[in-house]
Structure 1
Amino acid sequence: MCSEEDVRLAQQGHKEAFVRVIKATEGTMYRVAKSILHSEEGVADAIQDTILKSYSSITSLREPRFFKTWIIRILINRCHQMLTSDRRFVPLGDWIESVEEAVSYESVELQDVLNRLKVDHRVIVTLYYLEDIPINDISEMLQIPAGTVKSRLSAARKQLVILLRSEGEGRISYDFH
Structure 2
Amino acid sequence: MSISVEARLVRLAREGEREAFAELVGLYQDKLYHLAYRMLYQAQEAEDIVQETFLRVYANLHRYDETQKFSTWIFRIATNLCIDRIRKRKANFSLDAELSDGEGSDWYAMLPGDEPTPESRLMLTETQEQIRSAIDGLPEKYRAIVILRYLHDLSLQEIGEIMGMPVTTIKTRVHRGREALRNKLELSDFVE
TM-score range, shorter chain: 0.7 to 0.9
Counterpart residue identity of residue 125, structure 1: V
**Which has more radius of gyration?**
2
| Cα 1:158/1:29, change in 2 over 3 Å | same
Question: SS at 1:117's partner residue?
Answer: coil
Over the matched positions of the two proteins, sequence identity in percent amounts to: 26
CA spacing shift, 1:127–1:88, aligned 2, 3 Å:
same
Q: Secondary structure at the match of 1:70?
A: helix
* SS in structure 1 at match of 2:10: helix
User: Alpha-carbon deviation of 1:79?
Assistant: 2.5
TM-score, normalisation: structure 2: 0.70
* CA–CA separation in structure 1 for the residues paired with 2:143 and 2:38: 6
Among 54, 58, 67, the residue aligned to 1:55:
58
* Structure 2 equivalent of residue 173 of structure 1: none
Q: Identify the residue that residue 78 of structure 2 maps to in structure 1.
A: 75
Number of aligned residues: 169
What are the Cα deviations for residues 12-66 of structure 1, in whole angstroms up to 9, with x where unaligned? 2222221222222223322332343333222222221111111121122121752
> Residue 78 of structure 1 aligns to which amino acid in structure 2?
L
Q: Choose the corresponding residue for 2:153, options 132, 145, 165.
A: 132
Write out aligned runs for 1:81-96 (5 A): 81-85=84-88, 90=93, 94=97, 96=99
- The residue that corresponds to 2:34 in the other structure is 31
Q: Give 1:83 shift.
A: 3.6
Structural mapping, 1:97-112, within 5 Å = 97-98=102-103, 101-102=106-107, 106=111, 108-109=128-129, 110-112=131-133
Helix, strand or coil: the match of 1:102? Answer: coil
C-alpha displacement at 1:99, in angstroms?
6.4
Match of 1:154 in 2: 175
Residues 32 and 94 (structure 1 numbering): CA distance in 2 closer, same or farther, change over 3 Å?
A: farther
Contact preservation (8 Å) 2:53, 2:77: yes
Structure 1 stretch 46-55 or stretch 155-164: which is displaced more?
155-164
Mapped contact 2:138–2:180 kept (Cα < 8 A): yes
What are structure 1's unaligned runs of at least 5 residues? 170-177
Q: Does the C-alpha gap of structure 1 residues 26 and 111 become closer, same or farther in structure 2, counting only changes over 3 Å?
A: farther
Instruction: Tell me, yes or no, if the aligned pair for 2:39 and 2:147 is still in contact at 8 Å.
Output: no
| CA shift in 2, pair 1:84/1:127, >3 Å | closer
